[in-house]
Homo-oligomer: A and B are copies of this chain.
């Protein structure tokens, strides 16, 4: 897993260019020029545009998910965890607007290769963390017994939709302005 300097420059330039022009009309030449890297270098690290895309995606989602998992691992009451997760999601999105844009508009179905597998791996890792958290709090009687899939959906779904709306149009209010309302609603949905 190369941590090369030029590789990073390429990924960063790709993200910026993708968000600026859209993936389809972002040319590799533009990316190359922004990264100040030769054609040969680019193709040395990435077999094709697709895999460059995947790398950008992976880098973003890993950063997001690592932070998220930490919120759930904090020992503390269920309510505090819920609040922490929601705050994390909203703040991460505001702080990483470009990455968030890219992630929210781009699925990864139909990707082959290692990277798709790595994304899946990251997802299932997150899912098992959530499952453990759910089991613990259901046992303690602080959460309603609900399947982990629905818990994840209830926890993150509304936050994602809210953030999407913000990312899509600059007119919408900042996600964090909805934080308190969101926490209240979500907690009522899940608490025992």
Contacts and interface: CB of A to CB of B under 8 A. Distances in A.
The oligomer's copy count stands at: 2
Nearest to A145: B181
Contacts of A173: 149
A167 interface: yes
Chain A's interface: helix, strand, loop or mixed, by majority? Answer: helix
Contact of A149 (B53, B165, B168): B165
Given A106-B105, A182-B150, A161 B156 contact: yes
A21 B188 CA distance: 42
Given A181-B146, A188-B188, A109 B167 contact: yes
A47 interface: no
Contacts of A160: 157, 160-161
Interface in A110-166: 110-111, 120, 144, 146-147, 149-150, 152-154, 156-162, 164-165
Contacts of A158: 150, 153-154, 157-158
Contacts of A41: none
B25 A154 contact: no
A152 B162 CA distance: 9
Given A185-B146, A185-B189, A161 B157 contact: yes
Most buried by B among A25, A110, A167: A110
A62 interface: no
A24 interface: yes
A24 to B, nearest CB: 6
Nearest 3 pairs of A and B residues by beta carbon: A105-B107, A157-B157, A189-B189
Given A24-B50, A154-B185, 13 more contacts: A109-B168, A146-B185, A147-B178, A149-B172, A149-B173, A150-B182, A150-B185, A153-B157, A153-B158, A157-B159, A185-B189, A185-B190, A188-B188
